[in-house]
Amino acid sequence: MKILLTGGGSGGHFYPLIAVAESIRSIAQREKLMDVQLFFMSTDPYNERDLFDLGIRFLKVKTGKIRSYFSMRNVFDKFSIVWGVFRAIPKVYSIYPDVVFSKGGYASFPAVFAARLLRIPVVIHESDTIPGKANAWAAKFAERIAVSFPDASKYFPKEKVAYTGNPIRRTLMHPTPDGGHEHFNLNPHIPIILVLGGSQGAQHINETILDTLPKLLPHYQVIHQTGKEHIDEINRMKTVIIEDTNLLSRYHAVPYLTSMSLRMAAGVADIIITRAGSTLFEVAQWGIPSIVVPLPGEVSHHQRENAFAYARTGAARVVEDANLSPYILYAEIERILKNKDVRERMRASAKSFARPDAADVIAAELVRISLSHE
């Protein structure tokens, strides 16, 4: 059995593929399936350790990206896309997988195009409320389509689509309250705010958090994932902004949270501030109230729709990036953390939205298609 995974460009594409791969390995072990081979085709391996741990062979293919805004790079990238397809076809043919599973994104196009040409079954997964270009095209011939948001179903053929939720890695499924206070040197009697910035569009959130610290720290503690490129500047700025040195110990800026650190942070957090990418599904799984700040439309056309779709469940409040200010952010935090009934309703709504079996459901379908294709 051979399964080719594809997608890329961000962790939002890569890590759900890893979650599905984990479930495929689990099914293979449980059902005693022999010689299950997994492959990952993309522009880069993203996390080589995860690929190695799951025995996934990486197949590199270069391709271009068509942007939704005007850019001269779109002209040159069209040639890169064609070249990527020509390189992908022989690579896909050489392994001839039983099924291709695509998370979408520009990096998935060469593999999916090759699968279409070679008549290999394709299954796609859409993380956003509105499909991206690659998935909208692949949906025309995909055998099955999984979606993270129920709202996305209307864009696909009814007979093909299934609302599965977003696959989450097993290491992040369950937060751990044990050791979190000690790990981050936190006071267990003071509420904790977890800020999950750190990648695309983190700078505005980082700046707003820093500006809000004088109002926050007398009442709350903050764990702030800043992103590796921002941590030095934030460490310089915090000593200027926080005039009361006794409060400095309540603010914990970290460049990046490992899986274990993130589980411990989630285990003690009372509220999470995040963008509207794939982290939303982890926050829902953890059942933690959140304030969602979607990327502005010129950066991501789908995050705003994702944020409001999640907020409609009652699990989160949305603050649009253009409206993000220390005053508004502090007011929203207070509105949630000062009202126990609001927090409990948000927790229940988040848990109701979560689909903890997403990876298992998708993996089972991929195995079924693979066995029927052999």
For range 165-177, the mean pLDDT = 95
Provide the token pair at 92.
């896909």
- Centroid of chain to Cα 114: 26
For range 18-35, the mean pLDDT = 96
In this prediction, residue 177 carries a pLDDT of 86
**Res 372 pLDDT > 80:** yes
218: exposed, middle or buried (Cβ count in 10 Å: 0-12, 13-18, 19+): exposed
Question: pLDDT tens digits, residue range 274-292?
Answer: 999 889 999 999 999 999 9
In this prediction, residue 228 carries a pLDDT of 87
Query: Strand 56-60 vs strand 37-42: parallel, antiparallel, or unpaired?
Result: parallel
The pTM of this model reads 0.92
Say yes or no: 122 and 234 in one domain: no
Question: pLDDT tens digits, residue range 213-256?
Answer: 999 999 999 999 998 888 899 989 998 888 888 899 999 999 99
Name the amino acid, one letter, at 184: F
In this prediction, residue 229 carries a pLDDT of 85
For range 253-276, the mean pLDDT = 95
Measured between alpha carbons, how far is 312 from 307 in angstroms, rounded to an integer?
A: 9
Burial 322-351 (b: 16+ CB within 10 A, else e): eebebeebbebbeebbeeeeebeebbebbe
Say yes or no: 349 and 237 in one domain: yes
**According to DSSP H, which parts of the chain are helical?**
11-30, 48-53, 73-95, 109-117, 133-138, 180-183, 202-216, 231-241, 259-268, 279-286, 303-311, 326-337, 340-353, 358-373
**Res 326 pLDDT > 90:** yes
Say yes or no: 53 and 138 in one domain: yes
Contact 147, 153 (CB under 8 A): yes
Q: How confident is the model at residue 12 (pLDDT cuts 50, 70, 90)?
A: confident
Provide the token pair at 86.
């020509």
- Centroid of chain to Cα 235: 27
Average pLDDT, the chain: 92
Say yes or no: 206 and 118 in one domain: no
In this prediction, residue 35 carries a pLDDT of 92
CA atoms within 13 A on the CB side of 316: 31
In this prediction, residue 73 carries a pLDDT of 53
**Res 200 pLDDT > 70:** no
Query: Which has more pLDDT, 115 or 70?
Result: 115
Say yes or no: 23 and 129 in one domain: yes
> Is 45 strand, coil or helix?
coil
Say yes or no: 8 and 70 in one domain: yes
Contact 160, 142 (CB under 8 A): yes
- Centroid of chain to Cα 342: 26
Measured between alpha carbons, how far is 309 from 169 in angstroms, rounded to an integer?
A: 23
Query: Which has more pLDDT, 374 or 145?
Result: 145
Share of the chain above pLDDT 90, in %: 79
Name the amino acid, one letter, at 328: I
Measured between alpha carbons, how far is 330 from 335 in angstroms, rounded to an integer?
A: 9
Provide the token pair at 15.
């890590």
**Res 302 pLDDT > 50:** yes
Say yes or no: 150 and 235 in one domain: no
- The total number of structural domains in the chain stands at 2
Question: pLDDT tens digits, residue range 339-364?
Answer: 999 999 999 999 999 999 999 999 99
- Centroid of chain to Cα 23: 17
In this prediction, residue 77 carries a pLDDT of 54
| Residue 38: φ, ψ to 5° | -115, 140
Say yes or no: 136 and 283 in one domain: no
Measured between alpha carbons, how far is 57 from 204 in angstroms, rounded to an integer?
A: 37
DSSP string, 184-202: TT--TTS-EEEEE--STTH
In this prediction, residue 373 carries a pLDDT of 74
SS3 content of the chain, % helix, strand, coil (to 5): 50, 15, 35
CATH of the domain at 237: 3.40.50.2000
For range 82-103, the mean pLDDT = 93
Query: Which has more pLDDT, 133 or 80?
Result: 133
Say yes or no: 249 and 301 in one domain: yes
Say yes or no: 104 and 55 in one domain: yes
For range 130-145, the mean pLDDT = 94
For range 304-329, the mean pLDDT = 96
In this prediction, residue 68 carries a pLDDT of 55
Say yes or no: 82 and 180 in one domain: no
Share of the chain above pLDDT 70, in %: 93
Question: pLDDT tens digits, residue range 147-166?
Answer: 999 999 999 999 999 999 99
- Domain of residue 200, residue span: 174-353
Say yes or no: 15 and 89 in one domain: yes
**Res 332 pLDDT > 90:** yes
**Res 75 pLDDT > 50:** no
